[in-house]
Amino acid sequence: MKVKVLNKHEVKASLNMISVLEKVEEVYCLKARQKAGLWPLIFHEFQPEIADMDIKSGYINEYDVYGLKVVSWFSENRDKNLPMLFGTTLMFDMKTGAPIGILDAEHVTGMRTGAAGAIGAKFLARARSEDLLIVGTGHQAAFQIAATLIAMQNIKRVRICNPRNAEQGVKFVSTIKDILNLEFLSSFQADDEVYDRIKAKFEVQFIAEPSLEKAVSQSDIIITVTPSRKPLIMKSWLKEGVHISCMGSDLQGKQEIESCILKDAKIFVDDMAQAINVGELEIALKTGTISEDNIMGEIGELILSEKVGRTNDSEITIFDSTGIALQDLIVSKLAIDIAKEKNIGQEVDL
Which residues of this chain interact with a second copy, rule CB under 8 A?
1, 5, 7, 39-40, 42, 44, 46, 51, 53, 55, 57, 59, 66, 68, 70, 72-74, 77, 80, 82, 85-86, 88, 90, 92, 94-99, 102, 104, 346, 348-350
3 vs 242 by CB, closer to a second copy: 3
57 vs 137 by CB, closer to a second copy: 57
The least CB distance from residue 125 to a second copy, in Å, is: 36
The least CB distance from residue 94 to a second copy, in Å, is: 7
DSSP-assigned beta bridge partners for residue 250: none
Q: What is the enclosing helix (H) or strand (E) of 111?
A: helix 106-124
Name, in order, each residue with C-beta under 8 angstroms of 296's C-beta and a sequence gap of 6 or more.
Answer: 266, 267, 268, 302, 307, 308, 309
The least CB distance from residue 80 to a second copy, in Å, is: 7
- CA pair distance 133, 209, nearest whole angstrom: 9
Q: Which of 4, 23, 31, 69 is catalytic?
A: 69
Q: At 191, which amino acid appears? A: D
Reduce the DSSP state of residue 112 to 3 states and report it. Answer: helix
- CA pair distance 172, 234, nearest whole angstrom: 24
CA angle 162, 154, 177 (to 5 degrees): 45
Nearest to 298 by CA among 29, 39, 59, 117: 29
The least CB distance from residue 99 to a second copy, in Å, is: 5
The least CB distance from residue 59 to a second copy, in Å, is: 7
**Is-contact 129 120, C-beta < 8 A?**
no
Q: What is the 3-state secondary structure (H, E, C) of 211-259?
A: CHHHHHHCCCEEEECCCCCCCCECHHHCCCCCEEEECCCCCCCCCCECH
97 vs 288 by CB, closer to a second copy: 97
77 vs 294 by CB, closer to a second copy: 77
74 vs 319 by CB, closer to a second copy: 74
96 vs 314 by CB, closer to a second copy: 96
**Is-contact 239 218, C-beta < 8 A?**
yes
- CA pair distance 324, 328, nearest whole angstrom: 7
Catalytic residue flag (residue 69): yes
Rounded to 10°, the helix 106-124/140-151 angle is 40
Active site positions, annotated: 69
